[in-house]
Amino acid sequence: MMTLYSGTTCPYSQRCRIVLYEKGMDFQVIDVDMHNKPEDLAVLNPYNKVPALVERDLVLYEANIINEYVDERFPHPQLMPADPVMRARARLLLHGFEKELYSLVDVIENGSAKAADKARAELRDNLTQLASLLGTQKYMLGEEFSMLDVAIAPLLWRLEHYGINLPKQAAPLLKYAERLFSRQAFVDALTPSEKAMRR
């Protein structure tokens, strides 16, 4: 059985929980208190961070690596495109999310007040640019739910928590967010602390 060491408020951990629930397989989640981490986490992950996935002798960390492994190991439903060209494009977009969205989350959570305000404005603008894409299709890659939707869902869930108000032109993005939040796997993957992030 797979075991996921997961932070109860960590957006990266939430991405991994969503994938595990989408796959509908047997796994266990160990909730990690970020202020009082278990000693075995540092043994499993040299960076002493969550998420970390353990399956027999295999230990993985970094959300995208964990999620791609789970997707390949349990191919139904498939979350990365089957076509190599589309899969490469999806990986590039995931990389873009890390650079242009999640790097700003780290600043909002850990930076100075001034840096956090600047990051909020940049994150708002970057997300607003995505809205035009979602006015014409159901999910990031078209009609099928994919790893890109998994990657962005925790961020959209935390907008209020991070103090980000999207402008009117981002309305398609907010409709898309509600589609993501209504998926059963998303609901099942939420921790009580994450549920409390939205009123």
Which residues are annotated as catalytic?
10
CA distances from 7 to 36, 41, 83, 122 (A): 11, 11, 33, 25
Residues 6+ apart with CB under 8 A from 49: 41, 61
CA distances from 186 to 12, 151, 153, 154, 181 (A): 14, 12, 8, 9, 6
CB-count exposure of residue 100 (10 Å: 0-12, 13-18, 19+): middle
Strand partners, 107: none
Q: How far apart are CA 13 and CA 1, in angstroms?
A: 18
Q: How far apart are CA 82 and CA 141, in angstroms?
A: 12
Length in residues, the chain: 199
